[in-house]
Amino acid sequence: MAQPNDRMYSRTHEWVLLAGGEATVGITQYAQEQLGDVVFVELPAPGKKVEKGAALGNIESVKAVSEVFAPVSGEVTATNGDLESRPELVNQEPYGGGWLVRLSVAPGAADGLMDAAAYEKFLAEEGAH
Amino acid sequence: MVETHLKRTPLYECHVEANARIVPFAGFEMPVQYTGVLEEHRAVRTAVGLFDVSHMGEIEVTGRRALDFVQYVTCNDASKLTLGRAQYSGLMTPRGTFVDDLLVHKMADERYFLVVNAANKDKDYAYLCAQAAGFDGVEVTDRSDEYAQIAVQGPKALATLQKLTATGLAEIKYYRFVEGAVDGAPAIIARTGYTGEDGFEVYVAPADAPRLWRALLATGRESGIVPAGLGARDTLRFEACMPLYGNDIDDTTTPFEAGLGWIVKLDKGGFLGREALVRQQGDGVRRSLVGFEMTGRGIARHGYPILAGGRAVGQVTSGTHAPTLGRALGMGYVPVENAAAGSPFEVEIREQRIAARVVEMPFYRRAR
């Protein structure tokens, strides 16, 4: 499936959508498929500073717990409160209503991440097609 | 690579065709899910689901002293079995703990059919053979490669399976079985299961299994049948509080601790572990397997510590979000003083202590 080309992607299957100094973060279609049915999402409180590559939160499916990593450094400004009652949004709308957190970020925060085409290629090389 | 050692069930190709996600489990490549655990779980609770459980082990005990032997190695009373009946039991260590939990089927006066956990099959077989050395007139045979097993589970299981067999399924009561034919193939049809729903476990020759699997999917279509994987099997058995060996019971736990005292028949005569169990019954258990619900936000998982009064008192043995009940539930061993329904404790989840309280088991009981 094609990835939205308005955002950037990490090798750990998170996406980042930049708008001004704010980054919205979620997990990719591929990541949600791998997780299976999401039943619980644990996210950091607003105000928390996160470093690129560090643990951002946890997503739990019925079977297992998976860590989500911060694809960019920044400070948490908002979390997706809808996920408390509807964690399945991560499966249903990974690129929309299933977003996880918003971070205030410095300019160039997404440098080094992959664009949609590069992420597609990365998935293909990983054998994930 | 480790995968090269994995076995495949006779239904492996069916799973691949159905786009199942395949994972290594108990030495087999098994389907963990087809479309999704929640959807498969729901189908079994409301309609019917089809499980490949061919990985389970089948061990036959035959001979003049077959009953004596089964009585000696298991804790339930196999002498109560008549032809065509099955019994849930425990294969016991001399310490009164579980080598495995199993189903014992009485096929004939001198023939018992034991169905054991896949992960334990080789261990069980070796254990049974070693114990049988002390018995004249008993033969233990591993028949696992001669049987595929398909579980048809859910409120519409009977209607679905009935279309493929002349055997009157309504006549087979819970924990009984008949030897008949399904879709023309010789089969053992048992009214047993591991989901908390009505249903059947059908044992057939491996060569007959793929055709039967496809026939069941076709005839069950109007009932909403879906193939269901190990993921749903686990959430279904969890809601029904059926123990999973390796999680909720193992060779360090006794039936009394696990709330399975009903499978221990101390008055049936001597058996492995009996003395330890008599002693434990006299002294009383110090810990019990309890069910609990998370009252704080979080999901307890196997191995997480349980704390009471600020100190670690036990461990979670199984835990997940229960799909039918929509709540985070768990099971675990706690000291008996913390085991009463309503008792509060905490579960340590990623270094945070989250509140929980003991609730009655089973979590889910089907309407009858």
B124 and B155 inside one domain: no
Sheet holding A22-27, edge to edge: A8-9, A14-19, A22-27, A101-104, A74-79, A49-50
- Token duo for residue B123: 């261990």
Q: Do A62 and B231 touch (CB under 8 A)?
A: yes
- The yes-or-no verdict on residue B46 having pLDDT over 80 is yes
Per-residue pLDDT, B1: 46
CB of B330 within 8 Å of any CB in chain A?
no
Residues B190 and B168 in one domain: yes
Q: Cα distance from B96 to chain A (closest Cα, Å)? A: 31
Contacting B residues, span 82-111, partner chain A, CB-CB under 8 Å? none
Residue pair B40/B151 in contact (Cβ under 8 Å)? The answer is no
| Alpha-carbon span B297 to A121, nearest angstrom | 38
Residue in A2, A1, A7, A5 with CA at minimum distance from that of residue A99: A7
Residue B266 distance to chain A (closest CA, Å): 38
- Examine the domain organization and report whether B172 and B42 are in the same domain: yes
Do B90 and B136 fall within a single domain? yes
Please state, in angstroms and rounded to a whole number, the distance separating the CA atoms of residues B116 and B103. Answer: 7
Token duo for residue A99: 């977003």
Q: Do B156 and B292 share a structural domain? A: no
B321–A36 C-beta distance less than 8 A:
no
Whether B318 contacts chain A with CB within 8 A: no
Please indicate if any CB of chain B lies within 8 Å of the CB of A51.
no
Q: Are residues B49 and B152 in the same domain?
A: yes
Nearest to A37 among B38, B328, B350 (CB): B38
In a domain, B291, yes or no: yes
Give the CATH number of the domain where residue B315 resides: 2.40.30.110
Give residue B333's domain range.
286-359
Query: Chain A residue with minimal CA distance to B236?
Result: A62
Beta-carbon pairs below 8 A across chains A and B: 39
Residues B45 and B152 in one domain: yes
CA closest to B235 among chain A residues: A62
Neighbours of A20 (CB within 10 A): 7
Q: A75 in contact with B at a CB cutoff of 8 Å?
A: no
Question: pLDDT tens across B245-271, in order?
Answer: 999 999 999 999 999 999 999 999 999
Are B135 and B170 in a shared domain? no
Tell me the fold of A8-117.
Answer: OB fold (Dihydrolipoamide Acetyltransferase, E2P) (2.40.50)
- Give residue-wise pLDDT tens across range B57-66: 999 999 999 9
On whether residue B155 sits in a domain, the answer given is yes
Place of tokens 């309609």: B47
Q: Going edge to edge, which strands form the sheet with A65-69?
A: A38-42, A55-61, A65-69
Residue B278 forms part of a structural domain = no
- Give domain status of residue B10, yes or no: yes
Torsion of the alpha carbons at B169, B121, B113 and B267, rounded to the nearest 10: -110
Among residues of chain B, what percentage have pLDDT more than 70? Answer: 99
Q: How far apart are CA B76 and CA B263, in angstroms?
A: 5
Using a CB-CB cut-off of 8 Å, the residues of chain A touching B320 are 39, 62-63
Single-letter amino acid, residue B190: A
Report if residue B126 sits inside a domain.
Answer: yes
In whole angstroms, give the CA distance from residue B120 to residue B100. 7
In a domain, B93, yes or no: yes
Looking up tokens 């034991």 gives B114
DSSP H or E segment with residue B28: strand B28-33
- Number of structural domains, chain B? 3
Which of these three, B111, B144, B177, is where a domain ends?
Answer: B144
Number of Cβ atoms within 10 Å of the Cβ of B325: 12
Residue at B50 is within a domain: yes
The amino acid sitting at B51 is F
Q: Note whether A75 and A102 are within 8 A (CB).
A: no
Q: A88-92, A122-126, B267-271, B329-333: lowest mean pLDDT where?
A: A122-126
B120 and B171 co-located in one domain: no
Q: Give the pLDDT confidence score for residue A127 in this predicted structure.
A: 72
- Measured between beta carbons, the chain B residues lying within 8 angstroms of A58 are 350
Is the domain of B139 the same as that of B63?
A: yes
Q: Check whether residue B169 and residue B225 sit in a common domain.
A: yes
CA distance B261 to B254: 9
Delimit the domains of chain A by residue range. Answer: 8-117
Q: What is the pLDDT of residues B199-233, one digit of tens each?
A: 999 999 999 999 999 999 999 999 999 999 999 99
**pLDDT tens digits for range B292-351:** 999 999 999 999 999 999 999 999 999 999 999 999 999 999 999 999 999 999 999 999
Contacts of A62 in chain B (CB under 8 A): 37-38, 41, 231, 235, 320-321, 323
Interface confidence (ipTM) of the complex: 0.86
In angstroms, what is the C-alpha Rg of chain B?
21
Q: What is the CATH number of the domain that holds B93?
A: 3.30.70.1400
A39, A42, A58 ranked by CB distance to B321: nearest? A39
- B142 has which bridge partners? B59
Same domain (yes/no): B341, B211: no
* Token digits of residue B62: 């035959």
Taking an 8 Å cut-off on Cβ atoms, the answer to whether B36 and A61 are in contact is no
- Residue A1 has a pLDDT of 59
How many Å apart are CA B43 and CA B51, to the nearest integer? 12
Is B352 a member of any domain?
yes
Average of per-residue pLDDT values in chain B: 97
